[in-house]
Amino acid sequence: MFKWNFFKSKDLNLSQIDFSLIKTDLHSHLIPAIDDGPETLETSVKIIKTLQQLGFKKLITTPHVMSDYYKNTTEAILSGLKSLQQEVKLHNINMQIEAAAEYYVDYEFEQKIGKEKFLTFGDNYILIELSFIEAPKSLHEVIFKLQLEGYKIILAHPERYLYFTDKDYLNLARRGVFFQLNTLSLIDYYSSRVRKRAEHLINKQMISFIGSDCHNMKHASLYKKCQNKKSWQDLHNSNKLLNYTL
């Protein structure tokens, strides 16, 4: 059962709803010194404690895999996960932690489809991200190839791809792509344009997952502010979120 925290927003006069009902965060960067997330296990533990206080019971951390920048391998990610799990256990934190990856779609990624087993979570979900400048020209081919291999595709933070039109979103949804919205998009963290796009996608009931995309303590300290936003409560009450199934 989710918890009501009776803190009243000054601007919206809404009670906070924490994240306990959705249970699982599926997008974060918590393994230290592997991408642009925390640099130490100490910081990772602080972040995890904060996420626990926000209501999460399970964290699926997803380090970047980018051919030209973060060349993380499955072995490196799973090794980092093991160290993180041991540290969490040492601190007696009751949090289930798993790992997958956030795969950047480019030519090199496409070449690995069918040749490499990607890190997935839940019902064989794979998390992918795109360039913030333009979509890959082969995006639909990549989606088709991944689906042929049995992957269920989740597109990370679609609200941040401002080059997408309603037609683009609808096309992707019709191809079976799930959308994962970033929590901080609800509070102008990235920009007001991103916030408005996030609200639009929520109103269109196109969001299936919400993720923290947490990289650091600055991010972690802002999520509580999101809990009393009308957009979060609309999404929460939409019965469209699938985080709890993971």
Is 2 contained in some domain?
Answer: no
For 13-35, letters b (16+ CB in 10 Å) and e give: eeebbbbeebbbbbbbbbbbebb
H or E element in which residue 179 lies: strand 178-182
Query: Which residues constitute the domain of residue 41?
Result: 14-245
Residues 89-99 have pLDDT tens digits of 999 999 999 99
Is 160 contained in some domain?
Answer: yes
Is 152 contained in some domain?
Answer: yes
* pTM of the predicted protein model: 0.93
Q: How far apart are the first and last CA of the chain?
A: 17
Are the C-beta atoms of 210 and 24 separated by less than 8 Å?
A: no
Are the C-beta atoms of 57 and 95 separated by less than 8 Å?
A: yes
The closest of 149, 74, 143, 142 to 108, measured between CA atoms, is 142
Q: How many domains are there within the chain?
A: 1
Q: pLDDT at position 192, please?
A: 97
Are the C-beta atoms of 166 and 197 separated by less than 8 Å?
A: no
Is 6 contained in some domain?
Answer: no
Q: pLDDT at position 8, please?
A: 41
Do the bridges between strand 24-25 and strand 4-5 make them parallel or antiparallel, or are there none, so unpaired? unpaired
Residues 120-173 have pLDDT tens digits of 999 999 999 999 999 999 999 999 999 999 999 999 999 999 999 999 999 999
- Name the region of 34 (left: φ>0; alpha: ψ -120 to 50; beta: rest): alpha
In the chain, the amino acid numbered 154 is I
- CATH number, domain of 52, equals 3.20.20.140
Q: Is the pLDDT of residue 179 over 70?
A: yes
For residue 106, what are the contacts with CB-CB under 8 A and spacing of at least 6? 66, 67, 68, 131, 136
Is 239 contained in some domain?
Answer: yes
Is 7 contained in some domain?
Answer: no
For 51-72, letters b (16+ CB in 10 Å) and e give: beebbbbbbbbbbbbbeeebeb
- Which two structure tokens, joined as six digits, stand for 52? 């626990």
Is 8 contained in some domain?
Answer: no
Q: pLDDT at position 10, please?
A: 42
Residues 15-39 have pLDDT tens digits of 788 999 999 999 999 999 999 999 9
Is 5 contained in some domain?
Answer: no
